[in-house]
Amino acid sequence: MNGLRDKVAIVTAAAGGGIGKATVTRLAEEGAIVVVTDSHERRTGETVEELSHRFPGRIDGFALDVTRREDIDRIVGAVVAKRGKVDILVNNAGINVLGGVDKISIEDWTRIFDVNLTGAFHLIRAVLPSMRKQHSGAIVNVSSIAAWSMLGGSDAPYAAAKAGLLALTRAVAAEAGPEGIRCNAVAPGIVLTKWVEKNMPGVSRQAEHTPMRRLGKPEDIAATIAFLASADASFITGEAITVSGGLYMHP
C-alpha cells in the first residue's frame, strides 16, 4: 500500500480488542506514526506500550473521551506540537444501547449521538486547520450497515447516529475537497468483537445469512480504513464502503 510512510494518524477508541486496535496496528505496519486515543486510560497505556515495542518512536497515546471538546482540542494541539501535523483521522469511537424507540432513555439517546456523531464532528473541526495548512489529509469515519438496514430491529439511536455520520462524511468531502482533503466512511456489518459476543447471543448464526459464510473480523475493517487513508485512494472522497461480507449490499 502506498502513501502511509511517516503520515501522522489519530485513531479514536483504539485501545480495545476491536476495530480501533486493529486499525492502529495496521496503520503502524504500513509506516504511519500513530496516535492511540481511547476513553479507557489504563488500556490506552497498555496498547501504547505494546505497540511501542514493535514500532519504537512511532506511537503516541492519550486518554480521550470524545464527548469532551476541550480534551479533543488539547490532544490535537499536542499532536501537532510534537509531530508537526495531522495527516489522517479515523473516527472509530462508538457506543450502542439496545432498546426500542419507546423504551430507550433520553439520556442514552443523547450519549449515543454525542459519541457516535458529535464527537466525530468535533474531531474533524480540530484537525482541519492542520490539514488545510498542508493542503492534504484523509478522514475516515466508521459508520455501520445499520445506517441503511435494521437487521436487529432495536437500534434506533445507533442507526440514526450512524446515518448522520454518513451525511457528515459527504458534507466534509464536498467542503474540504478543494483543499486536498478527503473524507470517506466504512460501514461494517457484524464484526466479531468481545462486545458483540457478550451483547448479541447467537450472533454466530448470522454467518449462515452472509454470502461469505463468516462474520467480519476487526482486521477486515482495518484493511479498508488503511486503504482509504492511503494514496491508493487519492481520488476517492465522499464514499461509504460497505464491509459486511455481503450481509448488506449497498446499492
**How confident is residue 112, by pLDDT bands cut at 50, 70 and 90?**
very high
**Residue 1 falls within a domain, yes or no?**
no
Average pLDDT, the chain: 93
With respect to residue 3, please indicate whether it lies within any of the assigned structural domains.
no
Positions marked catalytic: 158
What contacts 82, CB < 8 A, 6 or more positions away? 60
CA 131 to each of CA 37, 74, 135, 141, 207: distance values in angstroms, whole numbers, following the listed order: 19, 17, 6, 16, 40
> Per the domain annotation, does 186 fall within a domain?
yes
Which domain, by its residues, includes 72?
8-243
Characterise 245 by phi-psi region: left (phi > 0), alpha (psi -120 to 50), beta (else).
Answer: left
Mean pLDDT of 208-228: 91
CATH code where residue 25 lies? 3.40.50.720
- Domain-located, residue 251: no
What's the pTM value of the predicted model, to 2 decimals?
A: 0.94
Can you give the pLDDT at residue 208?
Answer: 79
Q: Hey, what's the cell of 111?
A: 450519549
The total domain count for the chain is 1
| pLDDT tens column, 5-23 | 999 999 999 998 899 999 9
